[in-house]
A = this chain, B = another copy of it.
Amino acid sequence: MNIPNTNKPRIVVIGGGFAGISFLRNLKKSQFQVVLFDKRNYHTFQPLLYQVSTAGLEPDSIAYPLRKIFRKHEDFHFRLAEVHRIDTRQSTVHTSIGDLSFDHLVIATGTRTNFFGNKSIEEHSMPMKTVPQALNIRSLMLQNIEKADITDDPEERKCLLNFVIAGAGPTGVELAGALAEFRKGILKNDYPHIAQKDMQVHLVEGSDRVLSPMSTFASAKAKKFLEKMGVRVHLNTLVASYDGTTVTTSEGKTFDAATFIWAAGVTGSPVETNNGKIEFARGNRYPVNEFNQVDGHTNLYALGDVAYMPTEQFPQGHPQVAQPAIQQGRRLASNIMRLQKGKKMLPFRYTDKGTMATIGRNKAVADIKKMRFAGLFAWILWMVVHLFFLVGFRNRVVTFFNWTYNYINYDKAARLIIRPYKRN
């Protein structure tokens, strides 16, 4: 795969998500040869993916070319390829474009959608983990509304205008809120022949509150905001099946809905190893020590969502969000540089910067240390933080402008069916 052999130690990184790019950005590059593998040529800013799904932003605002992030690094190599297998004994990765040996291997492969083995949901629902999936949701949503405008059959119309989201974590809540805003801003103006009340957004959650990783204050406020915006929240409700038309809950309740978005779970996305030695922890994650070293290995590291590092504060491992990934990446970079200098590694300590979720205009919730915010201030905070963490100056400006424009005009400019979505 055309990687020169030098006498520098080679670090191979799998995955250009938050963990991977944080690691790479913090690495003083000159001491190492670095090879980054990713299946895509861009970093995805996952927290704003729901805005791509709901026509608020285009992909280029939240996706950032991976090569650009590292263009000033020397002896850095990006490879658009999939890593199929890790040979831990030979310290080699087997990829879609050939094999490569490593001195250090950093696994930052994140998570994938978890359908919990439910085939009907896997086959018919819309997941939202990647940019193409988000664009599929955008197309399907718009196609269904277009179809609803045409049909004379009230049953079909109802089904086409019903949107069901499973899972009331941040993704589900933010999606539901954005759909409610779409109804208010776009449906009303673009589809004068469809009554707003005919489009329904249902948020279905298995536990007894929305945003369960957050404070009960945030959960209660978020639910109130959602309901005020007309989202129907169904707590303590599990989805049992979806056949492409009807969502059935475990209690036998049904919703006819042509759009069913699955945001109810993720699972680790580890890479296959040549030997069965790695026993994955809860959520299909690599068990790691406080240096992010995979149990039983000294040159294998797992970072972020795919790492399982139980601590006193988080006995089930860190939350699978951006902050632990970013902080672990940073710490591992400094640790590998310390090792190189003959120093001891320092253990990872998580700094909780708080959690937040946005529901709609002027409506967000934030838990920061012991403080609880809900409403306009939390919403402004949410925007500032997301703009700050968004990668790239251009993306920040374009996103900020689009937000301002959308805010003033109740608009969502990217309501384009570029590639129509076709069900299998």
Stretch at the interface among A6-14, A59-67, A160-168: A59-67
Q: Does residue A387 face the partner (Cβ distance < 8 Å to B)?
A: no
The CA of A192 and the CA of B42, in the complex, are separated in Å by 18
Residue of B2, B71, B146, B411 near A190 (CB, 8 A) is B71
Q: Please give me the 9 A-B residue pairs with the lowest Cβ-Cβ distance, nearest first.
A: A67-B190, A58-B60, A60-B414, A80-B146, A58-B58, A42-B416, A71-B189, A41-B417, A65-B415
Q: Does residue A350 face the partner (Cβ distance < 8 Å to B)?
A: no
Q: Which residues of B contact A193 (CB under 8 A)?
A: 2, 77
Q: Are A401 and B405 in contact (CB under 8 A)?
A: no
The CA of A59 and the CA of B58, in the complex, are separated in Å by 8
Q: Are B2 and A150 in contact (CB under 8 A)?
A: yes
Q: How many copies altogether?
A: 2
Question: Taking chain A's interface residues, is the majority helix, strand, or loop, or is none over half, making it mixed?
Answer: mixed
The CA of A411 and the CA of B42, in the complex, are separated in Å by 15
Q: Which of A393-424 contact B (CB under 8 A)?
A: 394-395, 397-398, 401-402, 405, 411, 413-419
Q: Which of A113-144 contact B (CB under 8 A)?
A: 131-132, 135, 142-143
Q: Which residues of B contact A65 (CB under 8 A)?
A: 190, 413, 415-416
Return the CB mask of A88-129 against B: 1 if under 8 Å, else 0.
Answer: 000000000100000000000000000000000000000000
Q: Are B150 and A416 in contact (CB under 8 A)?
A: no
Q: Which of A356-386 contact B (CB under 8 A)?
A: none
The CA of A42 and the CA of B68, in the complex, are separated in Å by 31
CB distance from A294 to the nearest CB of B (A): 28
Q: Are A135 and B418 in contact (CB under 8 A)?
A: yes
Q: Does residue A40 face the partner (Cβ distance < 8 Å to B)?
A: yes
Q: Does residue A79 face the partner (Cβ distance < 8 Å to B)?
A: yes
Q: Does residue A339 face the partner (Cβ distance < 8 Å to B)?
A: no
Q: Are B401 and A132 in contact (CB under 8 A)?
A: no
Provide 27 A-B residue pairs closer than 8 Å at the C-beta atoms, listed in order of the A residue: A2-B149, A2-B152, A40-B417, A41-B142, A42-B416, A42-B417, A58-B58, A58-B59, A58-B60, A59-B416, A60-B416, A65-B415, A65-B416, A67-B191, A77-B193, A79-B150, A80-B146, A132-B418, A392-B413, A394-B411, A394-B413, A395-B413, A397-B401, A397-B405, A398-B401, A398-B402, A419-B419
Residues of A near any B CB (own CB < 8 A): 1-2, 40-42, 58-60, 63, 65, 67-68, 71, 77, 79-81, 97, 131-132, 135, 142-143, 146, 149-152, 189-193, 392, 394-395, 397-398, 401-402, 405, 411, 413-419
Q: For the A-B complex with A68-B415, A71-B192, A394-B405 known, give 13 more contacts whose Cβ atoms are closer than 8 Å.
A: A2-B151, A2-B193, A41-B142, A41-B416, A42-B416, A42-B417, A58-B58, A60-B414, A63-B416, A65-B416, A68-B189, A132-B418, A392-B413
Interface centre among A97, A392, A415 (most CB of B within 10 A): A415
Q: Which residues of B contact A59 (CB under 8 A)?
A: 58, 416, 418
